[in-house]
Amino acid sequence: MADSTNEFDDSVKAFFVKYSWDTYQSKHLKFLKIPAYDLETSLAVDEVCRITDRKVSDLDCECLSKALMAMKPYNLKQIYLMNNNIGDTGCAAVAQAAAVLPSLEILNLARNHIGDAGLIALSDKAANAPIWQLVLTENELISDAGALALAQAVNKAPAEAFAKLRWLFLDSTSIGDKGVEALANAMVMGFRSIERLALHNCKLTKSALGPLTSAIERGALAKCQFLYVQKNDFDLEGKQILKAAAKPRGIKVHLGWPPPLPGVDYG
């Protein structure tokens, strides 16, 4: 890691201060003191960066990105930025940083305000990052355009783009049939490491089941263990067709209750 202390501008220094704190007394446990936390030091030496439920903004993400791109911390493996105020600009900044982090494994941006432009930026900038878990749960502004961009990134380089990705969570977004069809087709040649795919509570109808089933029959999701598609507008016939294609290949499909857990005969 390079010595980047002198490279930080005033906005990044203010960002470090904003998300650091001195030792303070716990409000809930009388004799417990919460130890001091220095974000700059943590980014340099820790494996996990967790700034959740803190109203993190796009500007904050830009500062975080500047810091990470200057530091390129080898130890940093996980970034959690859930339940904040991050939009497309902030997501793009984080994606830019993700591209230069040599050990990044988990990027969790659930419950923000990210839309298609944010997912497009991730698809463009972070396709070759060593991420194995990408979570965009409850970013309702993401729709088919974002899913199409993700699929196109994989189609351009099936063996390299998101090659290490094992968990892809796009649930509770506005992705519909066209987006899932594009993703399903991309998974025939790419996304070969996917083990868990979450598309539940999206905007899917029974029209999505044909392309998804066909892709599975053509070899997509060969390593997949769990496929979550519950809380979509599927009819019984479509559900049965999808399960019939998935079950012989060891894919447990979650279409409702019970969940697809080991030892549960969901068929």
**What is the CATH classification number for the domain harbouring 146?**
3.80.10.10
Count of structural domains, the chain: 1
pLDDT above 70 coverage of the chain, percent? 94
Q: Which helix (H) or strand (E) holds 156?
A: helix 144-156
Structural domain harbouring 135: 5-21+36-254
Torsion-angle region of 212 (φ positive above 0: left; ψ -120 to 50: alpha; else: beta)? alpha
Q: Is residue 28 part of a domain?
A: no
Give the pLDDT confidence score for residue 252 in this predicted structure.
92
Residue 259 located in a structural domain:
no
263 lies in some domain: no
Contact (Cβ atoms closer than 8 angstroms) between residue 111 and residue 139: yes
Identify each DSSP E strand in the chain by its residue range: 24-25, 33-34, 48-50, 78-80, 106-108, 133-135, 167-169, 196-198, 226-228, 252-254
Tell whether 31 is covered by a domain.
Answer: no
Q: Residue 37 gets which letter from DSSP? A: B
Residue 183 lies in a domain: yes
Asked if residue 258 has a cis previous peptide bond (ω within 30° of 0), the answer is yes
13 part of a folded domain: yes
Which whole number is the average pLDDT over 33-60? 95
Q: Say whether pLDDT at 4 is over 70.
A: no
Under the banding of pLDDT at 50, 70 and 90, the label for residue 260 is low
- Name the packing angle between helices 116-125 and 88-98 (round to 10°): 10
Residues with Cβ < 8 Å from 53, sequence gap 6 or more?
A: 82, 83, 84
Does the predicted model carry a pTM greater than 0.75?
Answer: yes
Query: Percent of the chain having pLDDT more than 90?
Result: 86
Residue 267 lies in a domain: no
